[in-house]
């Protein structure tokens, strides 16, 4: 194995959204150079990188030139085409690695991997044509959720089915290769953000609790209010999944906590996750620094949590009455503002987030929710 990629070297990032931006900010603090590759210019990550490539993922010659100019590559967006990742891998190490990416890119592959590995999930069935939908619904029972197999995130490409009569509408909304999954009557949603190093070392940020709005993450509270054995089990499952995928980098496993304390794995994100943004202020080492350390082959940092924290997303809808009142949140001493530099505030677009730290998780959550309300109070 070659040695670590040390400060001064250049880290390549495929994808140029907010996750790449927060990685690039840490990387530059630690003395690395950062090149980001994605279609589009003036992107959230491109604005803070040393170099922004604006080219398509299937532009093989640009991909090859990008790869020759960097020392290691990571992804901030798991739906980068497999052929692009392969092209880059022929020149330079790509982390988290093909197995993790291939598995997480497609819900059917992901759920099949989880099922085969004995990890608990909601019952599911493959549905690749319309005619299979009613049969699958009979097998797993209503209510259920039809989810597109490829390219689905943040609840996009999902439809709820309460009865066979909903099949046409659900198929219309999702179509193509899909899975039908039992709708889980969960008590809570939790996630574990963790990192795995090149040497197999593992460090986690504990279990956090997530509240969603319209299938999009809304608020994360760290730590989650769950019994220690539930957290231990969630962390154990996360570690085992990372090992089975031979994953190197930061990633997240999302869980449903069903009645009776039963954990079900919902999803694996093979990259830093929105539910780990609080770590920038709330943990000794943020999920982005861990990603950088892991992909560069450095030792992982400590993940101790200094104080309870909460994060609230700032979604484009907040801009509907005009520019939010930034001064109102900046006047709160324990609240931190993050904006991703996106030019246009579309309704469900993630534009930024707020983090609050406090003496208790409840106080942090109240503070961050109130802070967000202040943004539009005068509108
Ligand atoms: P996903 O894109 O699969 O992470 O789904 C986004 C959100 O939709 C989840 O975090 C849940 O709030 C909700 N959801 C997804 N699948 C299910 C399910 N099987 N049962 C209940 N809620 C779900």
- Could you please state the CATH topology (level 3) that the domain comprising 123-182 is classified under: Dna Ligase; domain 1 (3.30.1490)
pLDDT for 233: 98
Q: Has domain 188-374 been given CATH number 3.40.50.720?
A: no
Q: Which of 120, 123, 145 to mutate to test the pocket of ligand 1 (most atoms within 8 A of CB)?
A: 145
Q: How far is the CA of 58 from the centre of ligand 1 (A)?
A: 31
- CB 70 less than 6 A from any atom of ligand 1: no
Q: How far is the CA of 142 from the centre of ligand 1 (A)?
A: 15
Q: How far is the CA of 215 from the centre of ligand 1 (A)?
A: 6
Q: Which atom of ligand 1 is nearest to the CA of 212?
A: 12
pLDDT for 154: 58
Q: How far is the CA of 207 from the centre of ligand 1 (A)?
A: 18
Q: How far is the CA of 141 from the centre of ligand 1 (A)?
A: 17
pLDDT for 152: 56
pLDDT for 297: 98
Q: How far is the CA of 349 from the centre of ligand 1 (A)?
A: 18
Q: How far is the CA of 32 from the centre of ligand 1 (A)?
A: 37
Q: Which atom of ligand 1 is nearest to the CA of 181?
A: 19
Cβ partners under 8 Å of residue 348, min gap 6: 154, 214, 216, 315, 316, 317
Domain ranges of the chain: 10-95, 123-182, 188-374
State how far the Cα of 51 lies from the Cα of 37, in Å rounded to an integer.
9
- 113 and 88 in contact (C-beta within 8 Å)? no
State how far the Cα of 320 lies from the Cα of 343, in Å rounded to an integer.
14
Q: Which atom of ligand 1 is nearest to the CA of 147?
A: 3
Name the E strands within the chain: 10-14, 33-38, 51-54, 72-75, 94-95, 124-127, 144-148, 158-161, 178-182, 188-196, 202-213, 216-222, 249-258, 262-269, 309-315, 335-339, 350-357
- CB 184 less than 6 A from any atom of ligand 1: yes
- CB 209 less than 6 A from any atom of ligand 1: no
Q: Distance between alpha carbon 153 and the CA centroid of its chain, in Å? A: 9
In this structure, the number of other CB atoms found within 10 A of the CB of residue 71 comes to: 17
- 338 and 353 in contact (C-beta within 8 Å)? yes
pLDDT for 212: 96
pLDDT for 156: 64
Q: Which atom of ligand 1 is nearest to the CA of 152?
A: 2
pLDDT for 306: 84
pLDDT tens-digit profile, the chain (379 residues)? 579 999 999 999 999 999 999 999 999 999 999 999 999 999 999 999 999 999 999 999 999 999 999 999 999 998 899 999 999 999 999 999 999 999 999 999 999 999 999 999 999 999 989 999 999 999 999 999 999 998 755 556 889 999 999 999 999 988 789 999 999 999 999 999 999 999 999 999 999 999 999 889 999 999 999 999 999 999 999 999 999 999 999 999 999 999 999 999 999 999 999 999 999 999 999 999 999 999 999 999 999 988 999 999 999 999 999 999 999 999 999 999 999 999 999 988 999 999 999 999 999 999 999 999 999 987 6
CA torsion sign for 61, 66, 72, 77 is: negative
Closest-CA residue to 195 (of 121, 309, 84, 296): 296
Residue nearest to atom 12 of ligand 1 (CA): 215
- Could you please state the CATH topology (level 3) that the domain comprising 10-95 is classified under: Rossmann fold (3.40.50)
- CB 160 less than 6 A from any atom of ligand 1: no
């Amino acid at each position: 194995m070659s040695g670590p990629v040390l400060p001064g070297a250049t880290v390549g990032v495929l994808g140029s959204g907010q996750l790449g931006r927060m990685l690039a900010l840490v990387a530059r603090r630690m003395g690395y150079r950062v090149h980001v590759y994605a279609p589009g210019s003036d992107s959230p990550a491109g604005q803070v990188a040393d170099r922004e490539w604006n080219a398509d993922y299937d532009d093989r010659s640009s991909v090859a030139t990008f790869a020759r100019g960097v020392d290691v590559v990571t992804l901030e967006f798991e739906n980068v085409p497999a052929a692009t990742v392969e092209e880059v891998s022929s020149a330079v190490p790509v982390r988290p690695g093909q197995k993790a990416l291939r598995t997480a890119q497609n819900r059917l592959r992901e759920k099949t991997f989880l099922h085969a590995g004995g990890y608990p999930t909601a019952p599911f069935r493959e549905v690749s044509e319309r005619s299979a939908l009613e049969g699958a619904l009979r097998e797993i029972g209503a209510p259920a959720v039809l989810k597109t197999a490829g390219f689905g995130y943040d609840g996009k490409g999902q439809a709820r089915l309460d009865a066979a009569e909903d099949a046409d509408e659900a198929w219309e909304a999702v179509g193509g290769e899909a899975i039908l999954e039992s709708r889980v009557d969960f008590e809570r949603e939790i996630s574990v953000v963790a990192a795995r190093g090149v040497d197999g070392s593992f460090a986690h940020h504990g279990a956090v609790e997530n509240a969603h709005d319209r299938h999009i993450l809304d608020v994360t509270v760290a730590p989650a209010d769950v019994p220690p054995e539930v957290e231990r089990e969630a962390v154990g499952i996360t570690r085992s999944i990372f090992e089975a995928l031979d994953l190197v980098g930061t990633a997240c496993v999302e869980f449903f906590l069903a009645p009776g304390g039963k954990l079900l794995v919902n999803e694996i994100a093979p990259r830093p996750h929105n539910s780990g943004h609080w770590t920038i202020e709330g943990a000794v080492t943020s999920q982005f620094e861990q990603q950088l350390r892991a992909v560069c082959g450095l030792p992982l940092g400590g993940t101790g949590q200094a104080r309870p924290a909460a994060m609230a997303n700032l979604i484009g809808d907040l801009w509907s009455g005009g520019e939010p009142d930034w001064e109102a949140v900046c006047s709160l001493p324990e609240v931190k503002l993050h904006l991703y530099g996106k030019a246009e505030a579309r309704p469900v677009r993630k534009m930024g987030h707020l983090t609050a730290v406090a003496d208790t998780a409840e106080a942090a959550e109240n503070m961050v929710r109130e802070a967000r309300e202040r943004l539009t109070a005068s509108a």
